């Protein structure tokens, strides 16, 4: 395996895909929009910038990526349809095409954020039970499906990160949402995902990552020093919700709730008590929505595959 110094912007030749057009360019991958001819659907294709040089690396990537794809039966995980390696040795993932991310929509109302948190915590709990750590939960990786539902993207990143280096952490995480142990080069683990999800939900409420004072992000040293600061309340957000997020962002990973426990805390929190200093409830507010997690299991998965989410 060898890294590519800059994005490969050439349109890849991937069997079964046509009409490829550039969607986004990142430090580690290039994303294309395409049409999957066999089933007539639009998809997103993530092509990694590095290459897999040996047949063993390529076989391992495809095997592990397809194993990760079994998670896509979860209603709040972006579907991973297929994986492979291009003729010029770049690994790729074929995924569900979504309409955007929640990063472009924040800040959001507390009831909306709580609903997102319940669904994504359930997705992470399912992943952790399968032995998979996401590594990079952030607002940009919580996408809006074509049916308006939150869906966690980039589970394939865990597989691709292992291909780069089994000990890489910060290189595949976004520092603003990374837990403190990531800066100490600890092996990625489920508590890190919990921290990142709580930091993400806090940003969806406030418009900025936790402890962020300005739009301009601090340097690495300044970012590490932020972990010693308390996490402030958010104007107009019930204290109970912020306190749950604080629990998920304590510096000691052993003291954070599991993803399943976080889901339960978010379901139970009361959101009808808004701080008195903020008159942010509009008169036409329909009230708190019912928090629902879509059913899972073989029958649900069958209909999801047949008709889409």
CATH topology of domain 17-96: Phosphorylase Kinase; domain 1 (3.30.200)
User: Quick one: pLDDT band at residue 8, thresholds 50, 70, 90?
Assistant: low
**pLDDT value at position 109?**
97
Note every long-range contact of 158-162, with CB atoms under 8 Å and residues 24 or more positions apart, other chains counting. Answer: 158/68, 158/132, 158/133, 158/134, 158/188, 159/61, 159/64, 159/65, 159/68, 160/28, 160/29, 160/48, 160/61, 160/91, 161/135, 162/64
Is it the case that residue 113 has pLDDT exceeding 80? yes
Burial 35-68 (b: 16+ CB within 10 A, else e): bbeeeeeebbbbbbbbbbeeeebbeebbebbeeb
CB 34: neighbour CB atoms within 10 A? 22
Is it the case that residue 128 has pLDDT exceeding 50? yes
- Give me the residue spans of the domains in the chain: 17-96, 100-294
| pLDDT tens figures, 84-104 | 999 999 999 999 999 999 999
Mean pLDDT of 274-288: 40
Higher pLDDT pick, 21 / 218: 21
User: Quick one: pLDDT band at residue 142, thresholds 50, 70, 90?
Assistant: very high
User: Quick one: pLDDT band at residue 158, thresholds 50, 70, 90?
Assistant: low
| pLDDT tens figures, 248-257 | 999 999 999 9
Is it the case that residue 163 has pLDDT exceeding 70? no
Contact 130, 72 (CB under 8 A): no
What are 143's two structure tokens? 């996408």
How much of the chain, in percent, has pLDDT values that exceed 90?
Answer: 55
CA–CA distance, 152 with 92 (Å, rounded to integer): 18
**pLDDT value at position 103?**
95
Contact 121, 260 (CB under 8 A): yes
**pLDDT value at position 121?**
98
The mean predicted confidence, pLDDT, of the chain is 82
- Match 């607002």 to its residue by tokens: 139
Q: Find the catalytic residue in 58, 109, 135, 211.
A: 135
Mean pLDDT of 5-26: 85
**pLDDT value at position 222?**
82
**pLDDT value at position 7?**
65
pTM (2 d.p.): 0.81
Q: Domain 100-294: what homologous superfamily? A: Transferase(Phosphotransferase) domain 1 (1.10.510.10)
| 135 is an active site residue | yes
Is it the case that residue 305 has pLDDT exceeding 60? no
What are 88's two structure tokens? 């010029």
How much of the chain, in percent, has pLDDT values that exceed 70?
Answer: 78
Q: Is the preceding omega at residue 44 within 30 degrees of 0, hence cis?
A: no
CA–CA distance, 54 with 239 (Å, rounded to integer): 53
């Amino acid at each position: 395996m060898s890294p590519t110094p800059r994005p490969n912007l050439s349109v890849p030749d991937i069997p079964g895909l046509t009409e490829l057009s550039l969607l986004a360019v990142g430090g580690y991958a290039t994303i294309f929009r395409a049409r999957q001819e066999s089933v007539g659907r639009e998809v997103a294709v993530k092509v990694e910038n590095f290459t897999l040089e040996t047949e063993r690396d390529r076989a391992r990537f495809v095997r592990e990526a397809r194993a990760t794809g079994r998670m896509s039966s979860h209603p709040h995980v972006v579907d991973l349809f297929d994986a492979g390696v291009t003729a010029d040795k770049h690994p790729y993932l074929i995924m569900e095409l979504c309409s955007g991310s929640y990063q472009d929509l924040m800040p959001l109302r507390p009831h909306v954020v709580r609903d997102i948190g319940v669904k994504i915590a359930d997705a992470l709990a399912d992943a952790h039970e399968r032995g998979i750590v996401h590594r990079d939960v952030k607002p940009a990786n919580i996408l809006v499906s074509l049916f308006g539902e939150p869906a966690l993207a980039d589970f394939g990143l865990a597989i691709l990160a292992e291909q780069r280096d089994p000990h890489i952490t910060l290189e595949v995480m976004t520092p603003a949402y990374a837990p403190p142990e990531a800066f100490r080069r600890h092996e990625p683990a489920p508590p890190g995902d919990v921290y990142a999800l709580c930091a993400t939900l806090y940003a969806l409420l406030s418009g900025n990552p936790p402890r962020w004072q300005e739009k301009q992000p601090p340097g690495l040293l300044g970012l590490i020093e932020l972990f010693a600061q308390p996490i402030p309340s958010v104007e107009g957000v019930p204290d109970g919700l912020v306190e749950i997020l604080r629990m998920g962002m304590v510096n000691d990973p052993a003291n954070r709730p599991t993803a399943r426990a976080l889901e339960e805390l978010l379901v139970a929190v009361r959101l009808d008590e808004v701080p008195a200093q903020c008159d942010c409830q509009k008169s036409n507010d329909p009230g708190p929505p019912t928090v629902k997690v879509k059913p899972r299991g073989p029958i649900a998965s069958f209909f999801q595959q047949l008709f889409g989410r």
